[in-house]
Amino acid sequence: MTRKLLLLLLSLCSSFAVQAESKKSGPPNLLVIMTDEHNFRTLGCYRDLLPPDQALMWGRAVVETPHIDSLAADGAICTSFYATSPVCAPSRAAFVSGRYPQNTPVETNNIPLSDDIITFAEILRRQNYATGYVGKWHLNGTGKPEWGVSRKFGFDDNRYMFNRGHWKQFKDTLEGPRVAVTKNAKPTYSVAGATEESFATDFLTRKTIDFMDAHKDKPFCVMLSLPDPRGMERLHARTLTRIRYAEVTV
């Protein structure tokens, strides 16, 4: 279901962009999808550009990415694009601001973004764009998960922005969005019982589609920041470790 939702989201964005283009004078819409700890070798479009010893350095691919690959085939693919930092918050600070991490001053995780930073969303907001942010933010200090932070940095609709964590299930409540699974009254990263409505990627993608649909009649800018595949890859690694241990001990 997650693949279908992402495809629908990308299709909607494409259709809205075509509508804007057809108006000639209308500015384009902007959709940014950011994933957490997503190595480029996990994408088919990049594996196709690499020799086998580099593309398959971890063995045969366990995930296929046809929808992302189709975007690369129909558009542009960056072959010399580098993150300014391998750490979550500094990399995100640089991305939204266009500045080096030390100038934001988010040099490591859990440091708040400076109040004087102007993001691309703020620039577009001033140009009458509807702006939104859905998903992991990690630029407001140590709050966890801390929904809808007060400092919006140009992202007017940030109801589904959460500051920290790699939560796997969400739900809507009368008090706003919340982590769907708790233990001892504290949110957990459990995937047990996850559904097409609650799983993080599905839930956040739906909220992004809702934002785009609500603002399709005017220029919009929305950033979808998915906490996956981070966390899931660790679960996968632990599973492989247990399997290998079992193979050795059998």
- Look at residue 134 and tell me if it is in a domain: yes
pLDDT of 10 above 90: no
Q: What is the pTM of this model?
A: 0.81
- Look at residue 110 and tell me if it is in a domain: no
179 is in which domain, residue-wise? 2-36+83-99+118-249
Give the residue-averaged pLDDT of 89-100. 95
- Look at residue 94 and tell me if it is in a domain: yes
> Among this protein's residues, is 236 annotated catalytic?
no
- List the catalytic residue out of 88, 166, 215, 221: 88
- Look at residue 50 and tell me if it is in a domain: no
Check residues 240 and 179 and name the one with the higher pLDDT.
179
Residue type at 99? R
pLDDT of 18 above 80: no
Give burial (CB, 10 Å; 0-12/13-18/19+) of 157. Answer: buried
Q: What is the pLDDT of residues 137-162, one digit of tens each?
A: 999 999 999 999 999 999 999 999 99
pLDDT of 8 above 80: no
Give the residue-averaged pLDDT of 229-246. 45
- Look at residue 62 and tell me if it is in a domain: no
Q: How confident is the model at residue 25 (pLDDT cuts 50, 70, 90)?
A: low
- List the catalytic residue out of 138, 166, 215, 221: 138
pLDDT at 59: 80
pLDDT at 237: 40
> Among this protein's residues, is 166 annotated catalytic?
no
Number of domains in the chain: 1
- Look at residue 17 and tell me if it is in a domain: yes
